[in-house]
Amino acid sequence: MRKILVIFCLLTCLLIPNSAADSSNQENWEVDLENGYISTKPIFVDDQVIVRTSGFWTGDDRPHVYSFDVQSGIENWRFSNPNSTNHDMSPLLHISAGQGECGTWSNMILVAWTDGQVTALDSNDGGLIWSSKTEVVTWGITGAMAQDGENLVVPTRQGLSRFCLSDGSENLRVDLPQLSWRNGVTVTEDSYLLGNEEGVLNIVSKDGNVTNITLSQGMIRHPPIVTTAGIISHLQTSSGSAIYLGAELISEEGRSPAIPVNIGSRVYFGTSESVSVWVCEIDCVLEGRSEFHTNGEITVEESGDSSVIWYPRNNQQGGWGYGIPGEVIQLFSSSHDTYTTAGMSFGPNGEMAFGNDAGVLVVVLDDENLESSQQDESRSSSFQAHPAHFLMVGLLLGIAYSIYNSNRDLTNKLGVLLILVVAIFALPFVSDTWSKEVDKLTENPGDWNDDWPDSWIGTQVVVFELPDGDVAIGGLSGYDNVEQLTDAAALDAGVDVEKQSYSIGEMIVSFDGHELEGWEFTVDGERTPVGISQAAVSEDSVVRWSAA
Amino acid sequence: MVMTDGVHGTALGPVEMLVLNVVLVSFSFFLLCRPTQSAKREILVLTSITLAAASSRILLEPFPNVQPLTLMCLVMGASLGARRGMAFAVMATMLSNIVLSHGLWTFYQATGWAAIAFVGSKLSLVHGSQLEMKKLIFTAAIVSVLFDWWVSLSALSSLSTISDFGIYLLNGLPFDAIHAIASIASAVCIAPYLANLLHVETATLEEPLSIGEVDVITA
């Protein structure tokens, strides 16, 4: 009895510290933001990680900016812009407190929105400090802003604005003839550099004078990079992409260029086909190239004296590649991998924060337990020996030996162990396949309207929610994706469709000339994480187009 | 917020965790305090096997749902009786969850394995050191699946409808199958040795101890 009492006390003592442990001592945490893609990298500010969402919101929900405690993952604050339209892809910008001729300012998070607004938020509580407005042409701001001393420089949809950091008053405005998209601005000693959708590199002096260099028929969708060799631009062209040094074409590259970065004289580029590094001193010279698929933000992890370059992998498999072009690009994967354009972000104490089109923010405080696979993409399709293979072979040999010796007991034992090993080995595949089958059982909310004719049942239907009334077209069949089905329905209904090509795919600009605040679609009442060209439809799907 | 390393269901606060721990430890204490006469050897055997069972859970954690503890609970219940078997199940669960992560699911796991030990004590799976192997295999497979479903109840609070829970269970069937196969493998590979060990180590305890005057009289 006494001994049992001792054991009881020991167990209780052992477990009490566990009970009282602070739940914040986690090695990593994640949160589903549930209202959009994460298209730009999170940022670390003091003890916070701050991230923004864009895209597939539902109902009245709109893109947000969130702040979480780095250690615990507890939400500090959130900020939403109810007037935002699609694709808030301008990266968040942290500005440290300071002062200038136009006043003083505190620690701020600068957020640019697709409704043309620029908002300065208090980094401590997310409170609005000031807000300024820029022009909207279907979209507002989508490119990266930059700090220039006491000013914030903003690449707007059709020009450039500069605001005083202390109160948001505009002190420079330059209108440009060309539209732009994700065209970040670069601040140099005496000018601002920004590209546009017509392959023109604008050089805006700090007093507002504009000169430009026409590079090619293409789109500049990144902040131009300044090197000792000259200004580097990576244009997206109709056949792929092209790297320019000043006005000189130095290389033709693959499709959908990523946002390049430079470290000293080295400039890192990416496309859907490869990543490459060029050394730009007097001239630009290719130093290395590796096959990899990246289209988003290339980021840099400072690691002592060296740097590691990270590339978001923008295909269905997702994940992030890291390494130096010319060497094997390693792959980092998470449990939420899918299309990814947001860069990997790194905190001051080795923390990592990342997100992708799944809209889940993951923060890793200790990378020992990361689900990281180091794979060379080119090897991934070939057979790779796994310890389980050797174990299975060993068990088979053991079974053969036991049968030879008529040892039935040993045969049974090795037999069930073999079954267990095979079952464990096959589990990921079986579980994945089974899960997909089970998902089919989940009831889809559907989007059927009882007023529609019965003859439309089992056919493809498209609904356009135009300002002057809904237009529904049914009885269609044989179309594979939303784009094909929409085109066919629009043709039947006599609705004019205007589309535009972007790096993320085809997008609807207007129906019957109605641009509104942009258009979004659902398939059978649900949004999809992919664009109209990739969104699959079945033979009885209902596609609904409505104003964003 | 969903933590990446705690996916069984609701995470508990410190006070709730303390209550859960005290309840489970008290339950084990209550089970072990009868019969009042416990031989040193029995305590040693029970403690050793409990530590081994907890260690097996921790060591096999990388393999999804491979749980030899299920089979061990059956055999412990069958060999040592319901009280000892259930106490073993609760203690092994708590000890291993100190490492594997502790939460509301510990309650479901502990009660689930305790129930399995209870079932083991009622099914005559062991006669001396001999096992009813077919019966044991069949029982192990069935209780493994039932155990998984019981533990899945810990996730019920995070699911909105009963049909969601049904989908949750359906999604888990491949993992239930692994648990069942692992229990069968444990029955074939481990159970004979465990039953024999328990028989050898506890058989002598059932013999009357020769002490004092009785010795003199019977001598």
H or E element at residue A118: strand A117-122
> Is A434 within a domain?
yes
Residue A403 covered by a domain:
yes
- What per-residue confidence (pLDDT) applies to B120? 93
Quote the CA–CA distance of A529 and A339 in Å, as a whole number. Answer: 9
Overall domain count for chain A: 2
Please give the backbone phi and psi of residue A276, each rounded to the nearest 5 degrees, phi first: -145, 155
Is residue A344 domain-resident?
Answer: no
Number of alpha carbons in the 13 Å side-chain half-sphere of residue A95:
27
In order along chain A (548 residues), what is the average pLDDT of each group of 10 residues?
Answer: 48 43 55 82 94 70 87 88 80 93 92 93 91 88 94 94 94 91 92 93 93 88 93 89 92 92 93 93 91 92 84 87 90 84 90 88 72 40 63 89 87 90 86 78 73 87 88 87 89 83 71 81 79 83 87
Residue B163 with chain A: CB contacts under 8 Å:
443
Give chain A positions within 8 Å (CB) of B17. Answer: 18-20
pLDDT of residue A379: 37
Q: Does B200 touch chain A (CB under 8 A)?
A: no
Please give the pLDDT value at position A9: 47
pLDDT value for B216: 40
Residue B219 pLDDT > 70: no
Q: How many CA atoms lie within 13 A of A493 on its CB side?
A: 25
Task: Say whether both A398 and A471 belong to one domain.
Answer: no
Residue B192 confidence (pLDDT): 92
Q: A182: distance to nearest CA of chain B, Å?
A: 31
Residue A471's domain is classified under what CATH number?
Answer: 2.170.130.30
Q: Are residues A431 and A462 in the same domain?
A: no
* Together in a domain, A496 and A520: yes
pLDDT, tens digit (0-9, with 9 covering 90-100), for B185-209: 999 999 999 998 888 877 665 544 4
Q: CB-based contacts of B9: which residues, under 8 Å, 6+ apart?
A: B103, B104, B105, B154, B155, B156, B157, B158
A149 falls within a domain: no
Q: What is the mean pLDDT of residues B203-217?
A: 47
Q: What band does B158 get if pLDDT is binned at 50, 70 and 90?
A: low
The ipTM of this complex is: 0.80
A248 lies in some domain: no
Determine contact, residues A238/A159, Cβ cutoff 8 Å.
Answer: no
Who's near A353: CB < 8 A, 6+ residues apart? A41, A42, A44, A49, A51, A344, A345, A346, A347, A361, A362, A363, A364
Domains of chain B as residue ranges with CATH:
14-205 (1.10.1760)
Residue range of the domain that includes A398: 387-441
B-chain CB neighbours of A417 within 8 Å are 185, 189
Q: Which residues contact A389 (CB under 8 A, 6 or more apart)?
A: none
A71 falls within a domain: no
The answer to whether residue A82 is domain-embedded is no
Query: Nearest CA of chain A to the CA of B38: how many Å?
Result: 7
Residue A325 CA to residue A303 CA, distance in Å, equals: 17
Which of A95-114 are b and which e, b meaning 16 or more Cβ less than 10 Å from the residue's Cβ? beebeeebeebebbbbbbbb
Cβ <8 Å between A423 and B178: yes
What kind and span of H or E run contains A186?
strand A186-187
Do residues A543 and A462 lie in contact, with contact meaning Cβ atoms separated by under 8 Å?
A: yes
- Name the residue among B1, B15, B91 with its Cβ closest to that of A31: B1
* Partner-chain contact B32 A4, CB within 8 Å: yes
Give the residue carrying structure tokens 């008053």.
Answer: A169
Q: Taking CB atoms and an 8 Å cutoff, what residues of chain A touch B180? A: none
Q: Is residue A183 situated within a structural domain?
A: no
Q: Which of B20, B33, B188 sits opposite A413 (nearest CB)?
A: B188
Q: What is the mean pLDDT of residues B129-154?
A: 91
Q: Is there a contact between A287 and A273 (Cβ–Cβ < 8 Å)?
A: no
Residue type, B109: Q
Q: Which residues in B lie closer than 8 A to residue A20 (C-beta atoms)?
A: 14, 17-18
